[in-house]
Amino acid sequence: MQRRNFVKVLGLSAFATSISGFELIEEKGIFSTDCTTSRDMIGPFFRNNAPLRNDLSYPEIVNEIPILVKGKVFGNDCKTPLTKVKIDIWHCDHNKEYDMDSDEFRCRGTISTDLEGCYWFKTFIPPPYAGRPKHIHYLIHEHEGYQKLATQLYFKGDKRIKKNNWIKYPWDQKRILEVYKNEDGLSAVDLDLYLSKI
């Protein structure tokens, strides 16, 4: 019996463990796994055509903490890395403002995953603003049958992160990251991303 039919017979929403150890989920006829990265609002500050670059820092940064963000992008089986995935990254600057019109595209960049599904970028931990916790926006573009994904990265220990606001679902906890020192002494966080099929 095929897995899809098996689910229909049982009428369950989460029924089995995949070979990668994640639960398979059926919701309104769409099948995914519980490794799929939870979504967040894209917000009003996205801009198209950000330049291709892995370094979002700039000379005026003084008091903010430099940080390296890295991770991998995986498919919906929770284990296959996806290559050449386009990702837009953006966040506010040190003055809590978003660059919406300058040619500098401050705190914005477009990156892509390498042949092993890895991505990275350098920036700084952005300040909070208007009651919002510190955060970095991601937009992972549609890629070879995978859905577009808007999500956000948060930082552990930020007291502005509230339940039923930025951590509504269990997966949201995985986007609240511990900052650590890497082998080069640089502050770093790791965020793996898991996409869903269209």
87 sits in the region (left: phi over 0; alpha: psi -120 to 50; else beta) called beta
Question: How do residues 24-82 score in pLDDT, each as one tens digit?
Answer: 455 555 545 568 898 888 999 999 999 999 999 999 988 899 999 999 999 988 899 99
Q: From start to end of the chain, where are the E strands? A: 14-17, 23-27, 30-33, 66-74, 86-90, 108-112, 118-124, 135-140, 149-155, 176-177, 180-181, 187-190, 193-194
The CA distances from residue 197 to 21, 36, 85, 94, 115, in Å, are: 19, 10, 14, 36, 20
Res 15: pLDDT = 37
Res 29: pLDDT = 55
Token pair 């951590």 is found at 167
- Listed as ranges, residues in the chain with pLDDT below 50 are 1-22, 24, 31
Type of residue at 32: S
Nearest to 94 by CA among 63, 121, 67: 63
Res 8: pLDDT = 35
Q: Are 104 and 73 in contact (CB under 8 A)?
A: no
Q: Is the pTM of the predicted complex or chain greater than 0.85?
A: no
Q: How far apart are the first and last CA of the chain?
A: 24
In whole angstroms, what is the distance from residue 153 CA to residue 38 CA? 11
In whole angstroms, what is the distance from residue 149 CA to residue 129 CA? 24
What is the number of alpha carbons within 13 Å of residue 124 lying toward its C-beta?
A: 20
- Phi first, then psi: what are they for 37, rounded to 5°? -60, 135
Burial of 65 by CB count in 10 Å (0-12 exposed, 13-18 middle, 19+ buried)?
Answer: middle
Kindly list the structural domains of the chain, giving each domain's residue range(s) and its CATH number in brackets, ordered by start: 1-34 (no CATH), 35-194 (2.60.130.10)
